[in-house]
Every structure is written in structure tokens, then in C-alpha cells.
């Protein structure tokens, strides 16, 4: 592609200079040395570390310059890109192929023509129309400026108490980071649990950990307004409670920043997002859009979705640039892989939760296991909780959630690739993963999940959830709980009314078990109870394994944050 062969010069304007926009700009230049590339960013910073912002507030990142390594000058030097900050594109004239740009510092405007336009406006924090929403002590977090505002407020006012409204990624990262700064933190969440990318049972592990770290957590709590005084802000809940704090962090979600696209008459998708095809092109052939503002396809369901994450945004930016430069390139969709650090916990997820899968009309089920992150005989092993969602019938893997301390992101990434490749449980059992004692087990947790799903699909074992088990036992008396843990384990806690027979003594005590009742079998994690179910069903008993075991039960139902591994009792080959 010699420049001398090219003409005329293409002019590309990019709206938004972070993630997708910045990536698109750089890729454009690499593909076309001759193009005129203008990147217009409303904030004062380009290509900044937006996922790092909460950690600057918390003090983990101490150097301001680390958040903003790139500058308009560095884009100019490296890529010959004209990056204009504190300027906002306020209108698109599609017929004329021009945009109107406002200089935010003086309000003046100018018009700039384009051959191709890339919209990378991102998503804005949702700020509902509530009384007091404009309070000075109420903050949202999106830009570097927002970050400095919160950090400066903390430095200046030395607040003692914070209310965080909304418990998604930003909300929980802020809760952690405000706690790291020594504040008392209350998290208010409208839903039943934090982090919608987890099912309620898994999210309860996060609840426990938040409380362990002194975060007050108010669930099913609806905020009706804010009231500010000279030295405090009061958050009112629908049930009448009033929370007094020194600052409020509002993080109830984001909405696509699509005003510009809408006003230009571009086709919109769900919840006001910008509609694009797989090449990231909007309904106007000269306008592309990328990042948090666009509607994507959820690769698991095939349905439209809004997924505001940095990874897809960056990939989309590159794809838009490719297509603008005549290189065929398509975005295959998102699956929402994500990971959250919450104090000492790692919490990662990919694909569909069980709740989401069923809401999408899929006949889905899930297994729950509590494997160690590496061989337990090697020092430092930590138990994680892993939930893998699958489609009944086909065994297709639909999603994964994992919470633990170490090795969690690895298993979710492995599952992410498996989901991308449309793998089934049988495929998971075969995955050949790198093993040595400091890193994994000969049967990796992902292999184990595959084995467990296969056993269910093959009819080797029935499974019930704790909710189902407790309901069955309470309701009709036709079911009974069977605890297959050792006497030592039972002495540290158990379920009233359960029969107690350790799995290793089960064969000698079969006579004592009722043949007219369904036996709902549990151990600490679900492994020994599975062995027990195999013994029982082959001896003609009706039985089911209670998913997750007693350890999961104590965490979900009782708020225990204690580790729930079997201690030396379930290490036999599985």
C-alpha cells in the first residue's frame, strides 16, 4: 500500500478519545499513513485509565500521571493524530458530512467536515430525577475529572461516612476504595443482591465479604431522594429510613450516551443505544459507532445486549478502523466476561447467569463446586466457589461464575473461551490445561465442572438446590436430608432433622434408610454426597445430591464467610 498510489486523502473524525475511540484512531493511522484523523474528546484527557479511577481514589494508585499516560501531544507524535480535548461534538449534519464542535472552555463552535465518522461517546452514569440529585456532596465516577473531584473532596473535607448507591462494578470498587481511605461505608442496592452478573446465591458470598470488611449493606432498598446541609448529605429510602453521610457516590448503572446519534437520526437499539452491524457501522454508511454506547449481540443468546466493558470497546474500535480502511472485519459479539477485586476476594463471571439463562427461555441448570485453586498438598491452596451454567439436553456451557482468592480469573477465562467455542460439558472434561501443584490440580476445577455436568446429563445423579431441598423436606415429608459428613464435621454445625451417616459407613447402614422417601444427600461440598448418591441409587433408593453442599449453604443462607472446603475428607479420586 504505497501512499503514492492513494488518493484522495480520507478525513476521519472520531467522537470520544478513550478506549474504543483511541484504539480506532491508532489503528486508522497504522492502516492509512495519509488519512487526516481528528479525535474529539469532551473531557480534558485522552486514552486515560478509566478502569483505574477508583484505585486512585483509594490510594492504591498514587501517581496522578499514571492515570493519564497519554496526551494529545503523544498521539500527535506517535500517530500524527489531531486529538482535541475539552471539545464536544454537538451536532452531526449527515447530508453535508460535517459535525459541529463546541469548545467547552469558551463556548465557541466550529464546523468540521468528515469522510467517515466514528462515534465512541461511551455511557454516562445514570442520574435519576430525584430530589437533591444535584447536591455538591453527591458524586458520580466516569472521567479523570470526576476522580479528582472525589479525591480532592476527601482530602479537603476528611469525610468519615460515605453512602454508595448502587452495587455494580463501580459501586463495589468505590465501596472498597472508600473503605481503604478509612471511611465508614454503607452500600444501598435496590435489588436483592449486589452485582447482577452473579446469581443471588453466588452474590451472597460477596455480601458476606463486604460485611466482614465493615461495609454496611442495605439490600432491596430504594432511594427516594437526597438532602444536603452545610456538613452532611442525607439519603432517604422508600421505607422512610434516612442515611446521614458526608458524601454520596451514585453508581446505579450507566446509559448509552446516544443523544448525538439520536438527534442525527441514526437508528437506535435497546435502551437508547446506537444500532450497528457486525462491521460497527450505523444506519448511516459513513458513520461507525463503538464502545459502551452501542448495542451488541450477546454471543450466548444471540440476542441484542448492552455490555459496557473496556475489552469489547477496544476490539470494536479496531474493527471500525479496519472496515473504514477497506479491510473486512466483524465483531462477533460480547459475552460480558468480567472480574471484580473486592478486598481479598476475586469475583469473575462470563456468559449467562442461571437467572439470565432461564429468563432467556433456555432450559438451563448449574453445578456448584468448591475446588481448591491448586493442589491442596502444596502450601497456600485456597478454596474457590465455582458455578457453571449449562443447557440441559445439549450440555452446552452457557456461563460461569467464580469467587475466591487466586486462580478465579483463570478459570473464568478458560470458561469464556469454551463458551466462545460453543463447547459442551463433555468438551470441558477433555480440556488439557497446564498442571503443576502450585497452579492447579490434575483435574482442574473446569474439568471437574465438566464431569459433574456430564454425570447429571447422563442420569448418574439427580441434583436439587438447597432451596428446593429445604422446601421438599418442609412440605410433604416425602423427602429427608441425609448428611454424609463425618461426626467431627457435624459437631461444627449441621442441619436439624437430617439423618447422619458418613459416606464411608454408608454401605453398612443401608438398612436404616427409608425406601419410601427421597433422600436429599449432602456433604461439605457435594463430592462425597455424589459418591453416596451413586451407592444409594444403585441399591434402589430414590435420591438427589444437594448442589453446593453444606459449605455453600452456610455461606448463602447463614452469611458465613468461613471457608467451606472439606477438610481432608474428600481428597479421594473423583
Positions 308 through 337 that interact with a copy of itself (CB under 8 A): 309-315, 317-318, 327, 331-332, 334-337
Asked whether 272 and 308 are in contact (CB, 8 A), the reply is no
CB of 240 to a copy of itself, least distance (A): 37
Of residues 22-41, which lie at the interface with a copy of itself (CB under 8 A)?
22-23, 25-27, 29-34
42 CA to centre of own chain: 27
Active site residue 543: no
Of residues 240-279, which lie at the interface with a copy of itself (CB under 8 A)?
none
Using CA atoms, how far apart are residues 242 and 224, in angstroms rounded to an integer?
10
Task: Give, to the nearest 10 degrees, the angle between helix 169-180 and helix 200-212.
Answer: 10
Sheet with 216-218, side-by-side order of all strands: 138-139, 247-250, 161-165, 184-188, 216-218
348 binds a copy of itself (CB under 8 A): yes
Which residues, in sequence order, are bridge partners of residue 99?
92, 112
First to last CA, the chain: 58
Mapped onto helix, strand or coil, the DSSP state of residue 335 is coil
CB of 31 to a copy of itself, least distance (A): 8
CB of 146 to a copy of itself, least distance (A): 17
CB of 88 to a copy of itself, least distance (A): 21
Using CA atoms, how far apart are residues 312 and 335, in angstroms rounded to an integer?
9
The stretch near a copy of itself (CB under 8 A) out of 60-68, 117-125, 248-256, 264-272 is 60-68
Residue of 387, 324, 439, 320 lying closest to 20 (CA atoms): 320
Of residues 420-459, which lie at the interface with a copy of itself (CB under 8 A)?
420-421, 423, 427, 429-440, 442-444, 447, 451, 458
Of residues 361-390, which lie at the interface with a copy of itself (CB under 8 A)?
375, 377-379
What number of chain residues touch a copy of itself (CB under 8 A)?
111
**Pure H helices in 188-248:** 200-212
CB of 435 to a copy of itself, least distance (A): 5
Using CA atoms, how far apart are residues 160 and 214, in angstroms rounded to an integer?
13
Residue of 323, 335, 338, 397 lying closest to 366 (CA atoms): 397
* Minimum CB distance to a copy of itself smaller for 58 or for 125: 58
Which regions of 145-253 does DSSP assign to beta strands (E)?
Answer: 161-165, 184-188, 216-218, 223-228, 233-237, 242-245, 247-250
* Minimum CB distance to a copy of itself smaller for 250 or for 532: 532
Of residues 535-574, which lie at the interface with a copy of itself (CB under 8 A)?
535, 537-540, 568, 571-574
* Minimum CB distance to a copy of itself smaller for 432 or for 496: 432
Please count the other Cβ atoms lying within 10 Å of the Cβ belonging to residue 142: 19
Q: Which of 180, 286, 382, 504 binds a copy of itself (CB under 8 A)?
A: 504
Mapped onto helix, strand or coil, the DSSP state of residue 353 is coil
Binding marks (x or -) toward a copy of itself, 272..311, rule CB under 8 A?
---------------------------x---------xxx
Cell output for 514: 427409608
Residue indicated by cell numbers 454503607: 186
Which is the catalytic residue, given 51, 523, 543, 570? 51
The stretch near a copy of itself (CB under 8 A) out of 77-85, 125-133, 236-244, 516-524 is 77-85
Of residues 113-152, which lie at the interface with a copy of itself (CB under 8 A)?
none
Cell output for 190: 435496590
CB of 351 to a copy of itself, least distance (A): 9
The stretch near a copy of itself (CB under 8 A) out of 244-252, 254-262, 408-416, 548-556 is 408-416
Using CA atoms, how far apart are residues 217 and 466, in angstroms rounded to an integer?
24
The stretch near a copy of itself (CB under 8 A) out of 62-70, 107-115, 118-126, 259-267 is 62-70
CB of 377 to a copy of itself, least distance (A): 4
* Minimum CB distance to a copy of itself smaller for 285 or for 540: 540
Asked whether 522 and 493 are in contact (CB, 8 A), the reply is no
CB of 309 to a copy of itself, least distance (A): 7
Q: Which of 11, 36, 52, 115 binds a copy of itself (CB under 8 A)?
A: 52
Please identify every residue annotated as catalytic. 51
Amino acid at each position: 500500500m504505497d501512499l503514492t498510489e492513494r488518493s484522495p486523502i480520507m478525513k476521519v473524525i472520531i467522537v470520544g478519545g478513550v478506549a474504543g475511540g483511541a484504539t480506532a484512531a491508532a489503528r486508522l493511522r497504522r492502516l492509512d499513513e495519509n488519512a487526516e484523523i481528528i479525535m474529539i474528546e469532551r473531557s480534558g484527557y485522552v486514552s486515560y485509565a478509566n478502569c483505574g479511577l477508583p484505585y486512585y481514589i483509594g490510594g492504591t494508585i498514587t501517581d496522578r500521571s499514571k492515570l493519564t499516560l497519554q496526551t494529545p501531544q503523544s498521539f500527535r507524535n506517535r500517530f500524527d493524530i489531531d486529538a482535541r480535548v475539552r471539545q464536544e461534538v454537538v451536532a452531526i449534519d449527515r447530508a453535508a458530512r460535517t459535525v459541529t464542535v463546541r469548545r467547552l472552555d469558551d463556548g465557541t463552535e466550529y464546523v468540521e467536515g468528515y469522510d467517515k465518522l466514528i462515534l465512541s461517546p461511551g455511557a454516562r452514569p445514570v442520574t435519576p430525577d430525584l430530589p437533591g440529585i444535584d447536591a455538591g456532596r453527591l458524586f458520580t465516577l466516569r472521567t479523570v475529572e470526576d476522580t479528582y473531584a472525589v479525591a480532592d473532596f476527601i482530602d479537603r473535607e476528611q469525610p468519615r461516612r460515605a453512602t454508595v448507591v448502587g452495587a455494580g462494578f463501580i459501586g463495589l470498587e468505590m465501596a472498597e476504595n472508600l473503605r481503604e481511605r478509612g471511611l465508614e461505608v454503607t452500600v444501598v442496592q435496590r435489588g436483592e443482591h449486589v452485582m447482577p452478573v452473579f446469581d443471588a446465591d453466588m452474590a451472597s458470598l460477596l455480601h458476606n465479604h463486604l460485611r466482614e470488611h465493615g461495609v454496611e449493606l442495605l439490600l432491596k432498598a430504594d432511594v427516594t431522594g437526597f438532602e444536603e446541609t452545610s456538613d452532611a448529605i442525607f439519603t432517604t429510602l422508600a421505607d422512610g429510613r434516612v442515611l446521614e453521610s458526608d458524601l454520596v457516590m451514585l453508581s446505579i448503572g450507566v446509559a448509552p450516551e446516544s443523544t448525538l446519534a439520536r438527534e442525527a437520526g441514526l437508528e437506535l437499539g435497546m435502551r437508547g443505544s446506537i444500532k450497528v452491524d457486525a462491521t460497527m457501522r450505523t444506519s448511516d454508511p459513513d458513520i461507525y459507532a463503538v464502545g459502551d454506547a452501542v448495542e451488541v449481540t450477546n454471543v450466548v443468546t444471540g440476542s441484542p445486549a448492552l455490555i459496557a466493558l473496556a475489552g469489547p470497546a477496544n476490539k470494536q474500535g479496531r474493527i471500525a478502523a479496519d472496515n473504514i480502511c477497506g479491510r473486512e472485519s466483524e465483531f462477533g459479539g460480547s459475552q460480558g466476561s468480567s472480574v471484580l477485586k473486592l478486598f481479598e476476594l476475586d469475583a469473575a463471571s462470563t456468559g449467562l447467569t442461571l437467572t439470565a439463562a432461564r429468563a432467556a427461555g433456555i432450559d438451563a441448570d448449574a453445578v456448584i463446586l468448591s475446588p481448591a485453586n491448586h493442589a491442596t498438598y502444596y502450601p497456600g491452596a485456597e478454596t474457590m466457589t465455582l458455578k457453571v451454567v449449562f443447557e440441559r439436553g445439549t450440555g452446552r456451557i452457557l456461563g460461569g461464575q467464580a469467587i475466591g482468592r487466586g486462580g478465579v480469573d483463570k478459570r473464568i477465562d478458560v470458561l469464556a473461551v469454551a463458551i466462545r467455542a460453543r463447547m459442551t460439558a463433555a468438551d470441558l472434561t477433555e480440556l488439557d490445561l497446564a498442571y503443576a501443584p502450585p497452579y492447579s490440580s490434575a483435574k482442574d476445577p473446569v474439568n471437574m465442572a465438566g464431569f459433574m455436568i456430564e454425570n447429571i446429563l447422563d442420569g448418574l445423579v439427580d441434583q436439587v438446590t438447597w432451596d428446593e431441598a429445604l422446601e421438599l423436606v418442609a412440605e410433604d415429608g416425602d423427602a429427608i436430608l441425609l448428611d454424609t459428613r463425618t461426626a467431627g464435621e457435624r459437631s461444627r454445625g449441621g442441619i436439624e432433622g437430617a439423618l447422619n451417616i458418613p459416606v464411608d459407613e454408608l454401605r453398612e447402614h443401608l438398612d436404616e434408610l427409608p425406601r419410601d422417601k427421597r433422600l436429599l444427600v449432602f456433604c461439605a461440598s457435594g463430592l462425597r454426597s455424589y459418591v453416596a448418591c451413586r451407592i444409594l441409587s444403585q441399591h434402589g433408593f430414590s435420591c438427589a445430591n444437594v448442589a453446593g453442599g453444606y459449605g455453600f449453604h452456610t455461606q448463602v443462607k447463614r452469611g458465613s464467610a468461613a471457608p467451606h472446603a472439606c477438610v481432608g475428607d474428600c481428597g479421594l479420586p473423583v
